[in-house]
Amino acid sequence: MKYIYDLHKTMLTKNLILVYEGEFTQEITKSVLAMAERNMDSFGEESGIKRKVFNVMVECLQNICKHSESFNVEVYGKNNAIFMIGKQEDEYFITSGNAILAENVDSMAEKLTNINKLDKDGLKSLYKEIIRNGSLSEKGGAGLGFVDMARKSGKKLVFDFEPINQELAFFSLKTTIPRI
């Protein structure tokens, strides 16, 4: 039972205010968003900051619902992933993790690296370009989510890919939103 205490200590030291791990559906997504909103309300957070945090949360959760792969449906269910939000004195951070096809790692890493190279004006231009010329993927994405997260946060997106097996990798993404 020590792992419960260890988990509790980790959540406290990492300033995590909400952690959800499991299957992601639209209903669960709504509940996670509602809980996070209540937490920010209890902190008396400024509406502009809440709007940015909420927007990034929605993008992360939609990414999980639309693009995650199941790596062991019998054990974990469909769309098994993790979502966390934390608060420090000067920022919120939103972290998500889900399985993706290993064959998509290089293209996704390239896309995220290119987004991180852009400044505010470059992100705005890329956003408009995707709106004008973007085509929907087979899973319904046009690539706007990552660009929007970078625009709302004003910070670089932190990402990593951890191999699960030959076919899958675990994609982790962290977005930071300043509270200033």
User: What is the reported pLDDT for 75?
Assistant: 47
At residue 164, does pLDDT exceed 60? yes
Mean pLDDT, the chain, whole residue set: 87
Q: Would you say residue 134 lies in a domain?
A: no
Domain count along the chain: 1
Please answer whether residues 78 and 22 qualify as being in contact, where contact means their C-beta atoms are separated by less than 8 angstroms.
no
Residue 131 lies in a domain: no
- Note down the domain range covering 74: 2-102+157-178
pTM assigned to the model? 0.87
Query: Which of helix, strand or coil describes residue 97?
Result: strand
Whether residue 140 has pLDDT greater than 80: no
Check which CATH number belongs to the domain holding 31 and give it. 3.30.565.10
Domain membership of residue 137 (yes or no) is no
Domain membership of residue 132 (yes or no) is no
Q: What is the pLDDT of residues 49-106, one digit of tens each?
A: 999 999 999 999 988 888 777 666 554 445 679 999 999 989 999 999 999 999 999 9
Roughly what angle, to the nearest 10 degrees, separates helices 144-153 and 47-67? 160
**Residue at 94 is within a domain:** yes
